[in-house]
């Protein structure tokens, strides 16, 4: 319209050409394609206040990032409520939090909440592909020390973590980690820092596994909070988030149609359950591999066929890993896959698919689009590898903000709990979030649905032996435990058979 007003003599074809050119110019400032190839490590950037304690792709994208953060705030009611309720008290005053998580709009809301509660923050990315550059720019413009950009090399990744930790005149006293890389780096390079660190909050199954290994070996120096196995993380983020984002990630990268496709999902934990439910609803034929007989039984009773990977590897169209393990899909399986098979990972770490075995002279790598590679065999067979085996949803798409609000609120409360805990409450071990805190996180999200909780009467509370205000379930209770129902039905059947 602007072109027509200013240049009414343009012919139709030229009008379209000029309009497309202007549109591309407007959108270029938002996309990464406009950035030069210079490494952010080689740039000298400062925000509008003259602060240069950050390393990101392009500070000029800050306005776009700020708009994304504002959108995320609308879907993160609990964090916004936490800001309001605790801002006057400043429960994190004096806290110096060093973080290593995905740097997205949702993480930005968490970081700004921690800052509003009194904390100082320095942040790096836990994944080389998941950083939203415009969000990192908005955080840097807001005064946060952020060291991350999309497409970091392995060397960049560790350099960014080191820049967060190794700074003159500033030492962290809290760690917020996702995957355990930050914790590992401090143990390896700066072990003396743990003398002043009060605690670690870990979000992922991979990082939690590392913490339990340290604890078992007697090498865990500080208390750690296992957020991954909290009810609010397991039953909401791991399940509902992956149920929606698996389809989004696959669609954006491959444009694949799911109806009738044969898919094998390796692992039937909460992430696997979410992936399987979504694919089944879209008409896919879903197989499951699993090592745990309990999860395996759940898969069977949910209507999925339990197989070994070698039984179906030649016929499936899509292979998805979500085990948290290593070498789940090895070169032997990759060699046997059918032409055009899509291979991706929904676990935190890039160890599940043996990508290193594909970097050999006889195989050809062909970049199709961002985060999509063809790996071509000598006979012409090719597989479609997504995000080089790294986390699909955050590398190739986005995740539902509301679900991340639940996890982020849990992380914030875990930091507050560890930071303010009196000496002696927590030993040098790994702890689960108190049940009461889980329930509090859930309650903060209920108003979004205009939901109304039923309250126990005094008589009912006494009958159940509960406090009217919770916690309402014992620590051993497993929400949505399908196995319990299965075992119960088996017992009922046996009783009926005995009566016949």
Binding residue numbers? 104, 178, 203, 233, 237, 269-274, 290, 393
CA distances from 186 to 158, 201, 364, 423 (A): 11, 14, 38, 23
* Cis status, amide bond into 314, omega within 30 of 0: no
- Total Cβ atoms within 10 A of residue 156: 19
If you ran DSSP here, which 8-state letter would residue 100 be given? E
* Region of residue 490 (left: phi > 0; alpha: psi -120 to 50; beta: else): alpha
**Residue the block writes with tokens 């890389």:** 181
**Residue the block writes with tokens 């709009």:** 105
Tokens linked to 231: 């009810």
Q: Which residues contact 232 (CB under 8 A, 6 or more apart)?
A: 406, 407, 409, 410, 433, 438, 441, 442
* Number of helices and strands in the chain (H, E): 20, 15
Cα 260 from Cα 287, distance rounded (Å): 13
Of 132, 197, 140, nearest in space to 163 by CA:
140
Angle at 482 between CA 481 and CA 484, to 5 degrees: 70
Q: Which residues are annotated as a binding site for substrate?
A: 104, 178, 203, 233, 237
Tokens linked to 234: 């397991």
Order of strands, sheet of 342-345, starting from the edge strand that comes earlier in the sequence: 305-306, 285-289, 262-266, 318-321, 342-345, 382-386, 372-376, 364-369
* Residue 115 phi, psi dihedral angles, 5° rounding: -65, -40
Q: Which residues are annotated as a binding site for NAD(+)?
A: 269-274, 290, 393
User: In the beta sheet, which residues pair with residue 321?
Assistant: 266, 345
């Amino acid at each position: 319209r602007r072109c027509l007003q200013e240049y009414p003599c343009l012919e139709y074809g030229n009008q379209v050409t000029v309009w497309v050119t202007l549109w591309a110019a407007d959108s270029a400032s938002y996309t990464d394609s406009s950035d030069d190839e210079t490494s952010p490590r080689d740039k000298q950037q400062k925000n509008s206040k003259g602060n240069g304690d950050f390393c990101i792709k392009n500070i000029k994208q800050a306005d776009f990032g700020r708009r994304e953060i504002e959108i995320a705030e609308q879907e993160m009611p609990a964090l916004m409520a936490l800001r309001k309720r605790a801002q006057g008290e400043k429960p994190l005053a004096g806290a110096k939090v060093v973080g290593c998580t995905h740097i997205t709009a949702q993480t930005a809301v968490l970081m700004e909440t921690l800052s509003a509660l009194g904390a100082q923050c320095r942040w790096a990315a836990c994944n080389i592909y998941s950083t939203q550059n415009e969000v990192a720019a908005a955080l840097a413009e807001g005064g946060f020390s952020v060291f991350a950009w999309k497409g970091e090399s392995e060397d960049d990744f560790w350099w960014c973590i080191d820049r967060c930790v190794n700074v003159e005149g500033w030492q962290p006293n809290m760690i917020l980690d996702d995957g355990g890389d930050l914790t590992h780096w401090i143990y390896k390079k700066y072990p003396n820092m743990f003398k002043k660190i009060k605690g670690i909050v870990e979000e992922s199954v991979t990082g939690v596994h590392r913490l339990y290994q340290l604890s078992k070996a007697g090498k865990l120096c500080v208390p750690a909070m296992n957020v991954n196995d909290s009810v609010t993380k397991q039953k909401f983020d791991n399940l509902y988030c992956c149920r929606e984002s698996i389809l989004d990630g696959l669609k954006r990268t491959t444009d694949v149609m799911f109806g009738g496709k044969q898919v094998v999902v390796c692992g039937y934990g909460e992430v696997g359950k979410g992936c399987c439910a979504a694919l089944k609803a879209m008409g896919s034929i879903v197989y499951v591999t699993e090592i745990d007989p309990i999860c395996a039984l759940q898969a069977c009773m949910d209507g999925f066929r339990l197989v070994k990977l070698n039984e179906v590897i030649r016929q499936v169209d899509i292979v998805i890993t979500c085990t948290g393990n290593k070498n789940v899909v090895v070169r032997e399986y990759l060699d046997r896959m059918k032409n055009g098979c899509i291979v991706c990972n929904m676990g935190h770490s890039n160890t599940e698919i043996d990508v290193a075995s594909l970097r050999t002279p006889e195989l050809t790598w062909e970049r199709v689009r961002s985060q999509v590679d063809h790996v071509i065999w000598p006979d012409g067979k090719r597989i479609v590898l997504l995000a080089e085996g790294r986390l699909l949803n955050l590398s190739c798409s986005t995740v539902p903000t509301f679900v991340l609000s639940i996890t982020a609120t849990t992380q914030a409360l875990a930091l507050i709990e560890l930071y303010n805990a009196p000496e002696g409450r927590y030993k040098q071990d790994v702890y689960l979030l108190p049940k009461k805190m889980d329930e509090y996180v859930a309650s903060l999200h209920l108003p979004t649905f205009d939901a109304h909780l039923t309250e126990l009467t005094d008589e009912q509370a006494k009958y159940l032996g509960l406090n009217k205000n919770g916690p309402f379930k014992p620590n051993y209770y497993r929400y949505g435990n399908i196995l319990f129902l299965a075992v119960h039905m088996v017992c009922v059947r046996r009783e009926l058979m005995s009566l016949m």
